[in-house]
Amino acid sequence: MPADLVLASGSAIRATLLRNAGLSVETDPARIDEEAIRAALQAEGASPRDIADALAEAKAAKVSARRPGALVLGADQVLELDGVILTKPQDQADARAQIAALRGKTHRLLSAAVVCRDGEPLWRHVGQVRLTMRGVSDAYLDDYVARNWESIRESVGAYKLEEEGVRLMARVEGDFFHVLGLPLIELLTWLSVRGDIAS
């Protein structure tokens, strides 16, 4: 794999997934105003899928502009519940409210990735996972948020499926890598077809 695969993110889990797949990856977090982009797109009536895709592209394009010739991967994840997009919780009360809203319902996680070179998108994919949360008790919900706050504060929906958050779920339909925020299989397939990685 060329050493110029750059992840336009500070996400430790995404970097780990790529490295565990045998890729050489450098991280270079994009500094974009996600809230402003999301708000503008929502005001225009954009779908949650299009918002995830646009945020991933914005990250990849920004870093790509300062990394000539490099393949730059941008990724973003959007959680949608009954047409409403949830964002990272602001505090523990917000985290509790998000999980309470998800309890007993099915929501969608949209995991978008875009690869740019010299500011131009070369590849994109948006994966979807449907998750149904159990009707957990208020007591467990309070304890869960207090116990896991430092970990879940950066997660939409205030849970991590790869950690204790799996206990909140009754059913998960879709690719686990999409849950973790990266359509990894699709990315590896594309890199293989291009000849960037051995197959």
Q: How far apart are CA 131 and CA 138, in angstroms?
A: 20
Are 112 and 46 in contact by the 8 Å Cβ rule? The answer is no
- Considering the candidates 4, 33, 50, 76, report the single residue annotated as catalytic: 76
* H-type alpha helices, the chain: 12-20, 34-43, 48-65, 92-102, 138-152, 176-179, 184-194
Which residue in this structure is represented by tokens 């794999």? 1
Are 95 and 152 in contact by the 8 Å Cβ rule? The answer is yes
Q: How far apart are CA 174 and CA 183, in angstroms?
A: 11
118 catalytically annotated: no
Active site residues: 76
